[in-house]
Amino acid sequence: MRSITARLQLALLFELACGLCRLASAAQESNQSRHVVLVVWDGMRPDFVSQENTPTLWKLSRDGVTFHNHHAVYPSATMVNGTALVTGMYPGRSDIIANHDYRPAIDNKRSLDVESPGAVKKGDELSGGKYIAYPTIAELVQKAGGRTAIASAKTVGLLLDRHAGIGRAKDCVTLFAGKSAPGDTITSIIAALGPFPVAHLEQDPWTTKALTNVLWKDGVPAFSILWLGEPDLTQHDCAPGAPSALAAIKSSDENLAAILSALDRQGARESTDLFVVSDHGFSTIRRSIDLRKILNDAGFSAKIEFHDEPKPGDIMLAGNGGSVLFYVIGHDAAVTRRLVEFLQQSDFAGVIFTKNPAQGTFGLAEARIDSEHAPDVVMAFHWNDSKNQFDVPGMIDADWQRGAGKGTHATLSRFDMHNILIAAGPGFRRGQVDDPPTGNVDLAPTILRILGIKPPQPLDGRILSEAMVNGDSANGGLKPETKTIEAKKDFAAGTWRQSLQISRVGPTIYLDEGNGAFAPR
C-alpha cells in the first residue's frame, strides 16, 4: 500500500515536473516572440514633456509608466550614457567615462572621440575585445540567437553594437550617422532613401525610415534602438526653450509616431515593449571658461594637443562641455596638488574628483568613474537654478567649446543629471507614475529580463520590477535612501566646500546633483 502511494506520489511529481518544463519552455518561446524597441531622444529634459510639446509621447505615457525620478550617469554626456544604457554598468566599470578622453596607448598627442571607428578598433585590439569591458544588450541578444537593429542618427551608434555583421551577428546591422556595420548595408539604404542628410533636423527622419522601411523589412527583430539626435543638436546651438528647440522636440515626437505606426503595420505593437529615454538633461551656458588660457596664465603647462613628446608635469585637458578631465603626465603629485588647489579657489569649479586622495575632493569611485584609464582629476563646472533667456532654469559654466547663451550639459547639475524615461507595452503597468529613483543603468537589466536573457555577470543597474506587470516584489521591500556627502578645504583666503547628493535603491546608486563653491574670508 505504502509503496503504491509512494509510486503514485512519484508519478504525480514527475507529471508536475513535466508540466513545469512545458510552462518554462512556453515562457522561453513567448520571450522569443517578444520585441523591445529603445528610442532615445538625445538631450530631452523631463520638463518639456507635455500634451502640447510631445503629444505622441504624452499619450504613450498614459498607456505605460512614467519614471519620475530618472537619472543619467555622470558625466551627463552622450557616449558615457549610451554605454551605460546598453551595458547596465557604471562608467568606471564599462571603461567609457567621457565623450573625449586621453589614452596615450591609442594617441599620445591629443584626446580621443571615444566612439570614433579608429579609437574603437585600436581600443579593442589593445584590450582583447574589451574596449567596452562588458557585453552590450545587442551582443547578448545575438548570443541567444536573436536579431538586432541599431539605427543612430549620431556617431554613438557604434558603441551600442560594434560587432554587427560579424559571426553570429551576421544578420544584424548598426547604423551610425549615415555609416553602417557591416559596411555595405549603407549602399542599399542610400539606394532606398537617398544620402544621409547634412541638415541635422533631417537626419532623424532619415534614420527612422532606415529602421522602419529597411532594417524592419522582414519583421521586427528581438531588439532595436533608434537614437535621435534631437533635441540635443538644436539645444546646443540655441539653448533649451528656444523656439527652434521646441520645434526639434516636436520632430522627435513625430519620429516616435512613425515608429508606433510601423509597429502597427507589422502587427507587432502588442508584443513590443517600447522605452523612450533621453541620455541626459540639458543646461544653458552662463560663462564659457577657457581653462587652457587660465591655467597657462597661472603657470601650469596645460595643453589640448601636444606637438612634441609630452613632458612630466604637463597637463592634458579633455573638455567635455560641462566637465573637464585633467591628465597630469607622469602623475606628478606636486603638479596635481597645485592644480586641485587652484581649481578649489576658482569661481567656476563645481565638484572635483581625484584619482589619489586629496583634501576637499571626492574619490573617482564616489561618481563611479574610477576606470583603468581615468584621469588624475575630473571637475564638473559650477551650476545654479537661475533661468535663461527663454525662462528655462539651469545655468552652468562650461568649457571653451561653446559660448555663453548656448546650450550644453555634462555637469552634476540636477538639470543635466535628470532625464526622461517612459516605458509602455505588454510588460508594463498602464497609466502609472514610478517614484523611486531609476537610472540609465537600469535599462539593460530590465530589457534582458523582458527578453528572457540572463546576463553573464551581475549588472550595476536593477530590474525596474516595481513598474512591470509580472515584476517580482524583490524591489518592493527596498526603501530608497538619500544621503549627501561633503568635503572642504581651508585656505588663507577662504574655504572650498563641495557636496554630492546620492540616492540608493538596494546596491544601485544614482547621483542626484552635486555642486561646490569657494567662499572668500
Residues that bind Zn ion (CB under 5 A): 42-43, 78, 232, 279
Smallest separation, CB 509 to Zn ion (Å): 22
Smallest separation, CB 115 to Zn ion (Å): 11
HSE (side-chain half, CA atoms, 13 Å) at 439 = 31
What is d(CA 208, CA 223) in angstroms, rounded to the nearest whole number?
Answer: 15
**Could you give the angle at which helices 55-63 and 243-265 cross, rounded to 10 degrees?**
50
Residue of 501, 74, 506, 24 whose CA lies nearest to 280: 74
User: In the complex with Zn ion, which residue's Cβ is closer, 79 or 263?
Assistant: 79
Smallest separation, CB 200 to Zn ion (Å): 12
Q: How many CB atoms lie within 10 A of CB 521?
A: 8
User: In the complex with Zn ion, which residue's Cβ is closer, 42 or 376?
Assistant: 42
Residue of 105, 95, 118 whose CA lies nearest to 310: 105
Nearest residue to Zn ion by CB is 78
Smallest separation, CB 388 to Zn ion (Å): 16
User: In the complex with Zn ion, which residue's Cβ is closer, 269 or 418?
Assistant: 418
Smallest separation, CB 436 to Zn ion (Å): 24
Alpha helix ranges (H) inside 302-442: 333-344, 414-417
What is d(CA 89, CA 462) in angstroms, rounded to the nearest whole number?
Answer: 10
Residue of 277, 231, 248 whose CA lies nearest to 37: 277
Smallest separation, CB 76 to Zn ion (Å): 8
Burial class (CB in 10 A: 0-12, 13-18, 19+), 396: buried
Alpha helix ranges (H) inside 346-442: 414-417
What is d(CA 97, CA 91) in angstroms, rounded to the nearest whole number?
Answer: 5
Length of the chain equals 521
User: In the complex with Zn ion, which residue's Cβ is closer, 72 or 367?
Assistant: 72
Smallest separation, CB 175 to Zn ion (Å): 17
User: In the complex with Zn ion, which residue's Cβ is closer, 232 or 314?
Assistant: 232
